[in-house]
Structures are given as C-alpha cells and as structure tokens.
Amino acid sequence: MKKVYACFTTDVIHEGHLNIIKEAQKFGEVVVGVLSDSALIRFNRFPTISLDDRIGLIKNIEGISEVIIQEDVMYDEVINKIRPDYVIHGDNWLQGPTKAIRDNVEECLKKYGGKIIDIPYTYNSEVKRIDERIKEKLAMPEFRRKRLRQMFGIRSIVKAIEVHSGLTGLLAEKTVVEHDGELDQFDAMWISSLCDSTAKGKPDIELVDMTSRFRTIDDVMEVTTKPIIFDGDTGGMVEHFVYTVRSLERMGVSAIIIEDKTGLKKNSLFGNDVVQMQDSIEHFCDKISAGKKVQLTDDFMIIARIESLILEKGIEDALKRARAYIQAGADGIMIHSREKDPSEIFAFCDAFRLENKETPLVVVPTAFNSVTENELAFHGVNLVIYANQLTRSAFPAMQQTAEDILRFHRAQEVDGRLMPIKNIITLIDEL
C-alpha cells in the first residue's frame, strides 16, 4: 500500500479538506499532519482552538489511517520520518509565498522518487466564508490581546513593525517573504508615537491626544489580526494612565510601553540635545503598579521603557531601574539607546539576563541598525521593534513625487515609480 501525506493548517474542516482526503485515498493510505502551534504562529495562522482539538477534528474524518503532528511549515522532518510516496495539496501553492513550501516538498521527495499531487484548490463561497470567520475571530479582542504573550513563549524573537494607518497595518499583516527556505513575516504591530504624530503633521511631544491615538488603533484593528503594541509615551498622569490601560485592554491591544520620562516629553532620539527629564524610580513604579492593579485580564502587558542610556546615565542606573520596575509589576523591560554601536545595549542585556532569565526584553534598533535579529536573540532580547522605517521610507518617496510633478507640470515622469492602482486594490480586502 502506498502512503499519501497531507498537512492541514486549519481550525475548521471544510469541503476543500474533505476533497483532499477523498483524492488522497485514490493513491493509498492517508496520513494527515496537523501543524503545531509554533509553526502555525510562524505562518500567521494563529490557532483559535488547541492542538488536541485540531487533532480531534481530523481523527473524526473517515478514511484516515494516521494523524501526526508536523512541527515545521517546511516538510523536511516529516518527510524524512514517514517517507510518503505522495504529498497531496491544493494547487494554490503553485504561486505566491507558499510556493516556497512546495519547492521544499519537491526537493525532499526527489531524494527517493516521491511525488507531489496538486489538486484543484477548492475556493467557493462557503470556504471563503469559513476563512473569513477564522480571520474575524482572530481580530476579536479576546483572541488578539493574548497573542503577544503567547508568542513570547514560542518565538525565539518576536518582530514588530510600525503602523499608523489601515494601509500600513495591511502591509504589516500581509507582507511575507521567502528567506533561506523559510517564510518570514512580522509578528506584531507597533503604534509609534513618533509616526502617529508625524502622520498628523505634529511633533512627538504627547500633543496628539489619546482619543486620536485610539482612533489610529481602531483604523489598524479594522483591517488586521496581528497583535498591537502601543507606544504610550510617558503614560501621562497616574490618574489618567489607569483609564488608558482599561481602554487599551478592552480594545484588544496586547501591550503598552511607557517610558520613564516626565515633564514635556521629547523624542528619545534627540537624547541630551534637548532638555528631557527622567522620572523618579518611585513615581514611575507607582504608575506601573496603578496600571497593573486596574487590568482585568492576564493577557495585557505593561512594559517599562528605561531611558537611562538615552540620557547618558549608564548601565548601572538602567539595571537598578529594571529591577525596581519589575518589582512594581512591569511585564517586560524595554531598553533604549541612540548609539550606533550596539555594545551598550548588548552590555545591558547580558547583565540583565545574568540576574533575570524570564522577563521579556524589548529593543528598538533605529540607531544601532546593524544588529541582526539573531544577534539580539543571542543577547536575550525577546521583541525587536522596527519603530519608524515605514514612515521614513514613504516620506522621501512622496516628497520626490510631489517635487517632480511640480518640475514637469505633469505626472508622466513619476509614473514608473508608482504602484499600479490594481496592486493597491488587491491589498485591500472587500467583504
């Protein structure tokens, strides 16, 4: 008897899956792999039910001889283990980012003469409805909120990118690239105070009020499912901060990062070139504890951002603050620096990890942009935030276009640099 293998990455069995199984049975005994939680998360298919329940779903289908767990999106391990004669899949993987997976399967099977069976992908209104339902569920506050915490346990380093609108949210949601045989994408989104303010033509001095910041979050949430980390600036007055925590938690935001500054906040990347005041440890601890006290779920995170390196107060001061903030209830520590050389960040992370193995560590490598994610992970960093690169790449491109239209008195000269309208439309989902 020949062996046919299919991997399922779903929480709901629909006609398409049943069709794959029916076709598979024509070729031999059918083994189905259920993709593990970590692989699904890496693949941006965050599970809405447990692995056991997903295995249960498949076991309930008739005509399957074995159900196994596939640990990775790529098939190397599973194919080596069960050596199927055939791997069956919908033909939608012949193009797009999932083609990298098909190429991987082809490579693995070639070694011993196994074959791929591509069957017509079932995409009717019912399958579309089920897909949409899963997506809508992931966008609901109770699912979205906990995803960041869950990810910390699973991903060696979580990657967030700045978003400030529905469109930039869609880019964070949908951009996938194949790199070294792996599919890579962002895990989370950062609502930067700098970029949210810049998009509104305002300085980054806590001038854009919370109602407006929440409106930005809502625009992003409307069209995405990935977890959101909110740049809460100083968090404001303790009496106000507690309301911010409640609102963000209710909306389904996963974390707020607040920085230990006080008075008129200026962007950290100015460092000591402008007057900036660091908060006292006591007062900032009070703010953290007040926020933790009003929180209603275990999912939401308050991450304390330490400005000691920005304000040139040294690593010892940063470490002392980290200890105090964690003691006050902080769920994570962000350490910031505006040095091009990452050595002070590494020194802090190494020292911090010597005394604390658990608390998530966050960095924003805008200045020290030569560091790779692997290097950061090696020094114990759990979350890397690319805090402003979308805004900074869009602005010069728009500026150049505006100048060229003025220069040439028409738009033809700029057209070669523009995204065709059709491509913009394909990015945007319609109900």
**Is there binding between residue 387 and ligand SPV (CB under 6 A)?**
yes
CB closer to ligand SPV, 231 vs 331: 231
Q: In what order do the strands lie in the sheet with 29-35?
A: 66-70, 29-35, 3-8, 86-90, 115-119
Footprint of ligand SPV on 82-111 (CB under 6 A): none
**Is there binding between residue 193 and Mg ion (CB under 5 A)?**
yes
Distance CA 196, CA 209 (A): 11
Footprint of ligand SPV on 223-252 (CB under 6 A): 231
**Is there binding between residue 308 and ligand SPV (CB under 6 A)?**
no
Distance CA 79, CA 71 (A): 12
356-395 b/e (C-beta count within 10 Å ≥ 16 → b)? eeebbbbbbbbbbeebeeeebeebbbbbbbbbbebbeebe
366 binds, among Mg ion, ligand SPV, none (CB under 5 to 8 A by kind): ligand SPV
Smallest distance, Mg ion to C-beta of residue 259, A: 7
234 binds, among ligand SPV, Mg ion, none (CB under 5 to 8 A by kind): none
Work out the number of other CB atoms within 10 angstroms of the CB of residue 241. Answer: 22
Smallest distance, ligand SPV to C-beta of residue 38, A: 28
**Is there binding between residue 359 and ligand SPV (CB under 6 A)?**
no
**Is there binding between residue 364 and ligand SPV (CB under 6 A)?**
yes
Of the candidates 10, 104, 193, 216, which one interacts with ligand SPV according to CB under 6 A?
193
Q: Which of 221, 153, 214, 224 is nearest to 185 (CA)?
A: 224
Q: Look-up: residue for tokens 């065709």?
A: 420
State the burial class of residue 252 (Cβ atoms within 10 Å of its Cβ: 0-12, 13-18, 19+): buried
**Is there binding between residue 194 and ligand SPV (CB under 6 A)?**
yes
Catalytic-residue membership of 204: yes
**Is there binding between residue 216 and ligand SPV (CB under 6 A)?**
no
Out of 11, 187, 204, 279, pick the active-site residue. Answer: 204
Binding-site ranges for Mg ion (CB under 5 A): 193-194, 231
Binding-site ranges for ligand SPV (CB under 6 A): 192-194, 204, 231, 267-269, 364, 366, 387-388
